[in-house]
Structure 1
Amino acid sequence: MASVDECRQALHDLAARLDANAETRGKLDLDRTLACRVTDLGTAFHARLTGGRLVDITDGDDPKAKIALTAASDDLIALVTGKLDVTKAVASRQVSIKANPFDLLKLRKLL
C-alpha cells in the first residue's frame, strides 16, 4: 500500500506531465473540479482540470466535484505511472470514474 505522500506526489507528477503536454495536445475545452478518493488510505485530494492542465491540487475531498476518481493507493500510482491502463482498470472496477458522459469523452484526450 502506497502512502498519502506518494499519492500526493503522483498527482503532482501527473499535473507536471499534463502541463508539459498541454501545448502539443492543443487546448482542451474542459474546466471541471476533480476529486480523487483513495479508498485504502481513507483520504482524498481535490483539484481543478482546466485547459488540459491539473491545477490547485489540495488535500481533502470535494463532494461537489464534477469528476470523481476513486481508487486504491497502489492503483492510483499505477495509473499515473502508466503501468495500469485506465480503460481496463475501469472495466475491471479497480478504478471508478464518475463524470457526465461528455466529460468522459473529453478526458480520454488527456490520457
Structure 2
Amino acid sequence: MATIEECRDALDRLAENLANANGDLRSAASVDRSVSCRITDLDTTFTGRLADGRLVEVVPVPGPPPGRAHIRLAMTGDDLVALVAGELNFARAWAGGRVRLEAGFRDLLRLRKLL
C-alpha cells in the first residue's frame, strides 16, 4: 500500500510533467480549476488548483474533500502512483472502476487530452 508521502511524490511528479508540457497538453492544462484527489485507502484527500498549466497549492487533508472541487478524482494510493509512473492506463482504470473522475462536461473535454 502506498504511503501519503509516496502519493505526494506522485502528485509532485504530475505537477512537474504538466509544467513541462507543450502543445495540446499544455493548452488542456491551462484552465483555472480546483482539483481534489481522494486517496480512498488512506482516508486522505489532496486538494489543489490547476492553473496556467500547473498543479499548485496541493495539500493533504484528512478524510473526504472539504468542498466540491471542479475536478474530482478518487482512487487508491497504489493506483495514483502507478498512473503517474505510466504503469496503469487511465482509460482502462476509469472504465474498470479503479479510478473515479467527476467534472463538468467542458472540463472532461479538456481533460481527455491529459488522459
Fold match (TM-score > 0.5): yes
Deviates more, 1:27-36 or 1:75-84: 27-36
User: Which residue of structure 1 aligns with residue 47 of structure 2?
Assistant: 46
The one of 94, 97, 100 equivalent to 2:101 is 97
* Structure 1 unpaired stretches of 5+: none
Give the TM-score, by structure 1 length: 0.90
Partner of 1:12: 12
Match runs of 1:1-111 below 5 Å: 1-22=1-22, 25-28=25-28, 29-60=30-61, 61-111=65-115
Tell me whether 74-83 or 17-26 shows the greater mean CA deviation. 17-26
Tell me, yes or no, if the aligned pair for 1:35 and 1:62 is still in contact at 8 Å: no
Contact (CA 8 Å) 2:18, 2:26: kept in 1 or not? Answer: no
1:52–1:110: 8 Å Cα contact kept in structure 2? Answer: no
4+ runs deviating over 6 angstroms:
none
The two structures have a TM-score, normalised by structure 2, of 0.87
Aligned length: 111
Q: Which amino acid aligns with 1:37?
A: R
Aligned-partner Cα distance in 2 for 1:91–1:25:
22
Asked if structure 2 preserves the Cα contact closer than 8 Å seen for 1:34 and 1:46, the reply is yes
Deviation of 1:33 after TM superposition, in Å, equals 0.2
Contact 2:4/2:42, CA 8 A, preserved across alignment: yes
CA RMSD of aligned residues (A): 1.7
